[in-house]
Amino acid sequence: MQLYNKLSAKERETLLEQAGEERLTLSFYQYAKIGNPHLFRNHLFIAWHEQDVLGRIYVAHEGINAQLSVPAKRFMEFKEFLDGIYFLKDVRLNIAIEQDLKSFLKLKVKVRDKIVADGLNDETFDVTNKGIHVDAMKFNELIEDPNVVLVDMRNHYESEIGHFKNAVTPDVDTFRDSLDIIEADLKDHKEDKKLVMYCTGGIRCEKASAYYKHKGFKNVFQLEGGIIEYARQVENLGLENKFLGKNFVFDHRRGERITDVVISHCHQCGEACDTHTNCANEACHLLFIQCEKCAVAMENCCSEECIEIIHLPYEEQKRLRQGIPNSNKIFKKGRSEKLKFKRPPSPQRGN
């Protein structure tokens, strides 16, 4: 039985273009106790390969986190399959605001230690003892309360292009970095302040809300469904949209526009821009913000050095990517001394 991809991303892209069928980009998560993640992973892969589902899915003993592209005509079949799994019955599906035929080009189901890496090793921590979920209407009310501290639980490159007004946006590279920083900053307000959190689709806030309750915070709230569901609700209910800019997403699109305001700038020239790209040099692959003008001038690269590399013979480019020291430099998120209009990495991050 096939339990892995046989097609390359390019081959899959060609097939999707030829088929021309509508697909839905969506995501969901669920914290649950999974006894055998490897067996569950294989069960998912077999079913979703048959349904022509593509995406990135993480499975662990603590649950599942999935971002998917599903054929629109097979959505009900996909939904019925989920409902047949006891802890996924009627799970909330965050359907993307903007759809893209090629948001995902492979089906990857991976077993991880945790579905959200948190760096925690505390057996007394119960991730299911979560905070209070609030919808868009209640969220809008809460964040106007002067007794509320609103915290963005995402990373710096996400909040840079979009966040709620008046939100605390920690300058962190990973979710695990933010947990201790936020607790330290708010340690004197565990009882007298309301802690309200949000993230992309809710999964990080779910764990964070349980963590802060575990740490003694008395009034913990999270935006249910994250920014994705918030955008849908404010549009459907005619509510005031308090989000500024784009919502960063972890697929081929890299972002969904929530409001028209552009709050960030090109990392190379400083002009207003909120379009993320990856450096064309695969030995770099730096994620950064680049405007159309700079994309042309810099050949989709982050630096003159990377431009020189992409013009080398392919085998030489492959050689430059070999070895752990080189591979560890790949996939950095918007921190580089090469970017004139982006703060370089701080020493303690070791980037």
**Beta strands at 276-278 and 287-289: parallel, antiparallel or unpaired:** antiparallel
Please tell me the distance from the alpha carbon of residue 6 to that of residue 94, in angstroms, as a whole number: 28
Place of tokens 């069928």: 21
Report strand pairing: 23-31 vs 132-134.
unpaired
Rounded CA-CA distance 131/170 in Å is 20
Extract the tokens encoding 223. 């935006």
Distance CA 123, CA 126 (A): 8
| CA-angle at 44, arms to 43 and 50, nearest 5° | 100
Report the alpha-carbon distance of residue 127 to residue 132 in Å, rounded: 13
Number of H helices, E strands in the chain: 12, 14
**Positive or negative, the Cα torsion across 47, 51, 52, 55?**
negative
Q: Which among 199, 266, 301, 306 is annotated as catalytic?
A: 199
**Can 291 be counted among the known catalytic residues?**
no
* Phi then psi dihedrals of residue 31, to 5 deg: -85, 130
Residue 237 Cα to chain centre, angstroms: 26
> What tokens appear for 344 in the block?
């370089």
Q: What angle do CA 147, 150, 154 make, to 5 degrees?
A: 165
| C-alpha distances out from residue 205 to 36, 46, 47, Å | 25, 30, 29
What are the angstrom distances between the C-alpha of 214 and each of 23, 207, 208?
A: 40, 10, 10
Please list the active-site residues. Answer: 199
